[in-house]
Chains A and B, each alone.
Chain A
């Protein structure tokens, strides 16, 4: 890999030992990829604050400086962490203060994370604490080179925003935050962004549920490839696309997709394939739609629901408003809990609007920072949960060993109020 002069200087220690270690990791990583060079980035989304047993040990031994050096720079040495060189944010993390007394999650982890927020905040890490940084102030420009983690954010960044990122990891984003560099490889190259597969919907795809199910189908059939989707697609909004992308990255490993006429790099079908002929279309009809619904709903036998989870990826303001309307004046079933996950910045708007209070009066909770899958924590004794998220229905049963139901927001709210799952595909 060719290094530019400023990169060589960083590697040689001109910017201090932490930056040198960061550049060393980028060189090892870039060589492993077979990248020819690095590129500049001014937009990093990674993870530093989330507690884990390994981190707790490292912090005991040498504070957060040691934890960052070992985990985020993959170094054996311990450095004083300098200020972030480029804008950097923290993605979702563990449960925070607002979960205490609600989520069964160790108090020691909440405290460890509070310490981390103070440490990293002082060094310029923006504690957005969400899997959806694009909802709360980190909206990269078209063609901007980014270094993001979190599969649902990566696919949104590439596809909906037309910015460029690979699916980075903890160490590569840590190194990028101190150098402003990332390997120029994969999705950073224009020729690697064109579609490879065509999926055509023969049934209408409209609304949150259907965009999520269609995404789950697309991910399953294309796996790591680059789908272009067409057909009976109704105009999606930001919330629909958040669900669609997260689903493609759960059943498969999609990092970029195109919707001709909707997403920025695909004004036309032709443009989506870079001028090459489109491959034969893979069909999505009522049979396929039914099969996806059944896959997501074959993880439940008991219709008694004791937990409802909304907001995966973290809820938009629109989703919070809809949940509040559905819950207004109602009371949750005595044995059922409802959590709605959202970024703290949107929670403050929800508080201001009165949505949080309406949800609280019904017995539900608006929580921030994390989710049951990230923190491996659901209400005590949960055996059966219901969700409107294909991603959470995909992951949570395996992570917590519980049953799952998948349906619309309104069906989930109905289950929370009655304690019984009555959803069906319409």
Chain B
């Protein structure tokens, strides 16, 4: 059974891949290592986890104004996520998605962090503003 969440495209484009869900907000500076595409904040639920090539689902951005610059670096170093889906839009997350240049959706009609689980198959259609989620393992 698939689930559809409607939102607003932040960066246009379409991508399909596996979800990586963070229930905690993510820091750029001091929070991620662009060289390896991993979360490095100690005590973060995703500490040591790599987001490269994943649909990164998270509540929003926190911390330093260097947020977007750090995610831009993931693009320049080839470690960027495949797409972004986030609950709360701010200047950090909006600019971050823009300079990472991956399909991104926010302003959703339901909280993606609550509905999507790590490992779910997700289609991010930012042109239409729709996130389609197929839970994994699929119901038999």
> B136 on the interface (CB 8 Å rule)?
no
Contacts of B41 in A (CB 8 A): 398
| A154:B65 contact, CB within 8 angstroms | yes
> A345 on the interface (CB 8 Å rule)?
no
| B65:A149 contact, CB within 8 angstroms | yes
Q: How far is the CA of A316 from the CA of B41 in the complex (A)?
A: 31
Most B C-beta atoms less than 10 A away, residue of A32, A52, A166, A185 = A32
Q: How far is the CB of A271 from chain B (nearest CB, A)?
A: 26
Q: How far is the CB of B94 from chain A (nearest CB, A)?
A: 4
Please classify how large the interface on chain B is, using the bins under 10, 10 to 19, 20 to 34, 35 or more: 20 to 34
> A425 on the interface (CB 8 Å rule)?
no
Within 8 A of B (CB), among A158-172: 166-172
Contacts of A33 in B (CB 8 A): 89, 91, 94
Most B C-beta atoms less than 10 A away, residue of A70, A166, A170, A399 = A170
Contacts of A40 in B (CB 8 A): none
Contacts of B8 in A (CB 8 A): 34
| A170:B42 contact, CB within 8 angstroms | no
Flag A315-340 by CB within 8 Å of B: 1 or 0 each.
00000000000000000000000000
> B10 on the interface (CB 8 Å rule)?
yes
Contacts of A399 in B (CB 8 A): 30
Task: Label chain B's interface by main secondary structure.
Answer: mixed
Contacts of B36 in A (CB 8 A): none
Q: How far is the CB of B10 from chain A (nearest CB, A)?
A: 5
| A168:B65 contact, CB within 8 angstroms | yes
> A304 on the interface (CB 8 Å rule)?
no
> B46 on the interface (CB 8 Å rule)?
no
> A54 on the interface (CB 8 Å rule)?
yes
Q: How far is the CA of A253 from the CA of B8 in the complex (A)?
A: 24
> A201 on the interface (CB 8 Å rule)?
no
Contacts of B112 in A (CB 8 A): none
| A54:B73 contact, CB within 8 angstroms | yes
Q: Which of B15-23, B49-57, B95-103, B117-125 contacts A (4 or more CB under 8 A)?
A: B95-103
| A71:B91 contact, CB within 8 angstroms | no
> A28 on the interface (CB 8 Å rule)?
yes
| B98:A54 contact, CB within 8 angstroms | no
Contacts of A168 in B (CB 8 A): 65, 91, 95
| A169:B42 contact, CB within 8 angstroms | no
Given contacts A70-B76, A170-B68, contact A25 B98 (CB under 8 A): yes
> B11 on the interface (CB 8 Å rule)?
yes
Q: How far is the CB of B128 from chain A (nearest CB, A)?
A: 16
Q: Which residue of A lies closest to B10 (CB)?
A: A32
Q: How far is the CB of B79 from chain A (nearest CB, A)?
A: 12
Q: How far is the CA of A34 from the CA of B72 in the complex (A)?
A: 21
Within 8 A of B (CB), among A61-97: 70-71, 74
Contacts of B10 in A (CB 8 A): 32
Contacts of B99 in A (CB 8 A): 25, 74, 169, 171
Contacts of B34 in A (CB 8 A): 54
Given contacts A32-B11, A54-B77, contact A169 B68 (CB under 8 A): yes
> B67 on the interface (CB 8 Å rule)?
yes
Sample (28) of A-B pairs whose CB atoms are under 8 Å apart = A28-B98, A29-B94, A32-B11, A32-B94, A32-B95, A33-B94, A34-B8, A34-B89, A34-B107, A53-B35, A54-B77, A70-B76, A71-B72, A149-B66, A150-B65, A151-B65, A154-B65, A168-B95, A169-B65, A171-B69, A171-B72, A171-B95, A171-B98, A172-B68, A185-B91, A224-B88, A253-B62, A373-B30
20 further interface pairs, Cβ-Cβ under 8 Å (given A34-B8, A149-B66)? A25-B98, A28-B98, A29-B98, A32-B98, A33-B89, A34-B107, A52-B73, A54-B76, A70-B76, A74-B98, A151-B63, A167-B90, A168-B65, A169-B65, A169-B96, A171-B69, A172-B91, A224-B60, A224-B90, A398-B41
The 9 closest A-B pairs by CB, nearest first: A169-B68, A170-B69, A149-B65, A32-B94, A166-B91, A32-B10, A169-B95, A74-B99, A33-B94
By a beta-carbon cutoff of 8 Å, the part of chain A in contact with chain B is 25, 28-29, 32-34, 47, 52-54, 70-71, 74, 149-151, 154, 166-172, 185-186, 224, 253, 373, 395, 398-399
